[in-house]
């Protein structure tokens, strides 16, 4: 019986040391039976704190003040050199080239717009369509505009959403 108790003490010590994976199924069953029979042993195992993992408990040294200063110095110098490169390449020729490209795009859009037919055949254009299975959670408008929901009186559930500009102030203020 003393050998059996020593074996149980050894098993309890291994559990308290966090070595559960090293127990065989027979040892686990024997230990489980003992814990059911002995409330004091169950309480002891229940209060046991698992050992702290060495790798997790080891303090991690952060960078020194000198290392941080070096890192920030490198970041700032890299930022300054990129800014210098950008300003060097953004000379007058590049600025004029961008302006010319923008003007050419505007002229092309204008010519294309003017070349389209001015009258639309019947049935084409900005047609309205009924949206079904739509749930509106919020209508958000900006710039002093207001939104209004108009519900159909026929019980169909149809809703028209209108957005209006703010009223003009006649006082000149």
Rounded to 5°, the CA angle 20-17-56 comes to: 100
- Is 35:42 a contact under the CB 8 Å cutoff? yes
Domain ranges of the chain: 2-52, 65-115
14/87 Cα distance (integer angstroms): 69
Tokens for 102, please give them: 């923008």
Assigned token pair, 57: 């408990």
pTM here is 0.29
Q: Can you tell me the distance from the alpha carbon of 56 to that of 34, in angstroms, rounded to the nearest whole number?
A: 33
Give the whole-angstrom CA distance, residue 162 versus residue 146.
8
Q: What is the model's pLDDT at position 152?
A: 78
Percentage of the chain beyond pLDDT 70 is 73
Examine the pLDDT at 70 and tell me if it is beyond 80. Answer: yes
**pLDDT tens digits for range 141-171:** 888 888 888 777 887 777 778 888 888 765 5
* pLDDT reading at 126 higher than 70: no
pLDDT tens digits along 82-120: 777 666 555 555 567 777 888 899 888 888 877 776 655
């Amino acid at each position: 019986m003393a050998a059996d108790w020593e074996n149980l003490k050894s098993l309890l010590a291994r559990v308290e040391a966090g070595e559960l994976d090293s127990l065989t199924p027979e040892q686990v069953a024997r230990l489980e039976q003992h814990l059911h029979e002995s409330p004091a042993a169950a309480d002891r195992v229940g209060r046991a704190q698992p050992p702290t993992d060495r790798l997790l408990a080891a303090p991690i040294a952060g960078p020194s003040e000198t290392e941080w200063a070096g890192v920030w110095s490198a970041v700032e110098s890299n930022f300054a050199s990129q800014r210098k490169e950008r300003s060097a390449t953004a000379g007058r020729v590049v600025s004029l080239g961008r302006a010319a490209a923008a003007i050419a795009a505007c002229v092309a859009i204008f010519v294309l717009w003017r070349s389209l037919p001015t009258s639309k055949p019947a049935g084409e254009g900005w047609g309205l369509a009924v949206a079904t299975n739509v749930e509106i959670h919020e209508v958000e408008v900006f710039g002093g505009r207001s939104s209004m929901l108009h519900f159909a009186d026929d019980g169909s559930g149809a809703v028209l959403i209108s957005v209006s500009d703010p009223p003009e102030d006649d006082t000149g203020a």
